[in-house]
A = this chain, B = another copy of it.
Amino acid sequence: MIFKDAIGIIAQFTAPLRRFSASSLAGVVILTVGLSAMTAYTVPALQSAADGWLSACLWCCLAYFAVESAVRARTAIRAGLAQSHFLSFSFFVDLIGVIAVPIALIGGVSGPNAWLFASFWVLKLAQNSPGFAQLGRVFALEAKALASVFALFLIVLFLSSAAMYVIERRVQPGAFSSLPEALWWAVVTLTTTGYGDKVPITELGHLLGGVVMIFGIVSFGLSTGILATGFAAETRRRNFIQTWDLVSKVPFFQSLEPSSITEITHMLRRLEVPERVAIIRRGKVGDCMYFIAAGEVQVDIKPTPVRLGAGAFFGELALLGDSVRSANVTTTMPSTLLILDLADFRTLTANHPDLKRAIDAEAQRRMSENQQMRERHRAAGAAPA
């Protein structure tokens, strides 16, 4: 099943990329084509193509981005958000993407060099991306700690390069001819990049180099530790806010008391699924149940498949004792699901017995409904779901 899961994972993974621009997929394709053409334009072997269709291709991309920018600006103006839009990062990216190359060409820069400014198009990846706002918030939260690590980095950088310059300049007057050269060695070593273009060769240089490398690991570890701490806090927070909005769309949760709602919101995980993806497969072992926040799924039960819309839940039998899934469940449209794990369900129902009773009752109700529907079907003859 991993094979199919992989498709789901890739779909999930590329979701934020696919929606990075107003016109979604088209935008990604144009961006990829534009950046590739710009890259190819600089290759000497493709010089004949560069003057022909590569150039045409680049002008088309530029035209597309110009139209897209205009549409975005008009939409903002109509919504009365003109000032906010023209001061935004999004507008800055639109503007630089459209005007940089023409200005360079007008200013007399030769073709291949002017089109290098098209590399600013890559900034469109950051446009309208909620993930970037999240990364930004992590940096803002951990700014002081990161600044301390950076100061430590600079201290080690300067002291070690001054020492290495003194140690190595006699035996390697070429490689360590000045302090800037030694600083380059230190930054290459401290980030553990290690090009090998400047390498200490004396015993003392080796000793100092080893110490600098270990400091490199430490500064790596510190910055990672800081970012991991910040990320864990930010993820927890962001998750709650997004889930909270969805929880309000599931009527079932509204009957619970406030403290249970808060607790369950912390536990639920969001899953955005494209249409025609199998959520549950018959015969597999299940360990979670699903609430539908938006969209629709089809449960393939006999005699007629049943469709469940926003607000419904399914897969609850896995949590009530039956670990093997009894029917396939597939999305019929792009849906947003909320997942409740067995682990969290157990913890929750231990503290809130009312929750378990509510799910039991709802499951019972839906089962008898299915029963009635099935009987009606039998009376009326089979009808398509």
Contact status A42-B165, CB under 8 Å:
yes
A6 CB-CB contact with B under 8 Å: yes
Contact B159 A188 (CB under 8 A): no
Chain B residue numbers with a CB within 8 Å of A263 are 350
Q: Across the interface, do A145 and B125 meet the contact criterion of CB distance under 8 Å?
A: no
Best-buried of A151, A230, A287 by chain B (most CB within 10 Å): A151
Neighbouring B residues of A177 by C-beta, 8 Å: 44
Per-residue CB contact flags for chain A residues 1-31 toward chain B (1 = under 8 Å, else 0) read 1111110110011111100100000000000
Q: In the complex, are the beta carbons of B213 and A222 less than 8 A apart?
A: no
Q: Note all chain B residues with C-beta closer than 8 A to A287.
A: 241
Does A380 reach chain B (CB closer than 8 Å)? no
A148 near B92 with CB under 8 A, answer: no
State whether A158 and B122 are in contact (beta carbons under 8 Å apart), knowing that A42-B179, A88-B1, A258-B349 are contacts in the complex: yes
Contact pick for A347, options B44, B139, B178, B262, CB 8 Å: B262
**Cβ–Cβ < 8 Å partners of A1 in chain B:** 84, 88-89
Question: A199 an interface residue at 8 Å Cβ cutoff?
Answer: yes
- Residues on B with C-beta less than 8 A from A221 are 220, 223-224, 226-228
Does residue A57 face the partner (Cβ distance < 8 Å to B)?
no
Q: How far is the CA of A356 from the CA of B137 in the complex (A)?
A: 26
Chain B positions within 8 Å of A199 at CB level: 195, 197
Interface check A81, CB cutoff 8 A: yes
- Set of chain B residues within 8 Å of A219, measured between Cβ atoms: 217
Size category of the A interface is 35 or more
What B residues does A346 contact at CB under 8 A? 240, 244, 261-262, 265
Question: Which residues of chain A in 128-174 are interfacial with respect to chain B, using CB atoms and an 8 Å cutoff?
Answer: 129-136, 138-141, 143-149, 151-155, 158-159, 161-162, 165-166
A254 at the interface (CB under 8 A from B): no
**Contact for A194 among B15, B154, B188, B226, CB less than 8 A:** B188
Q: How many angstroms from the CA of A132 to the CA of B134 in the assembled complex?
A: 26
Shortest Cβ distance from A151 into B: residue: B125
Inter-chain pairs besides A119-B161, A138-B222, A191-B214, 11 sampled, C-beta below 8 Å: A42-B179, A116-B162, A123-B155, A135-B152, A180-B206, A184-B206, A220-B220, A228-B229, A229-B235, A258-B349, A259-B351
Q: Which residues of A contact B (CB under 8 A)?
A: 1-6, 8-9, 12-17, 20, 35, 38-44, 81, 84, 87-90, 92, 113, 116, 119-120, 122-123, 125-126, 129-136, 138-141, 143-149, 151-155, 158-159, 161-162, 165-166, 177-180, 183-184, 187-189, 191-197, 199, 203, 206, 209-210, 213-214, 216-232, 235-237, 240-241, 244, 258-259, 261-263, 265-266, 269, 281, 283, 287, 341-344, 346-347, 349-351
A-B pairs with the 8 shortest C-beta distances? A131-B148, A240-B343, A3-B89, A225-B228, A193-B194, A195-B196, A2-B89, A191-B213
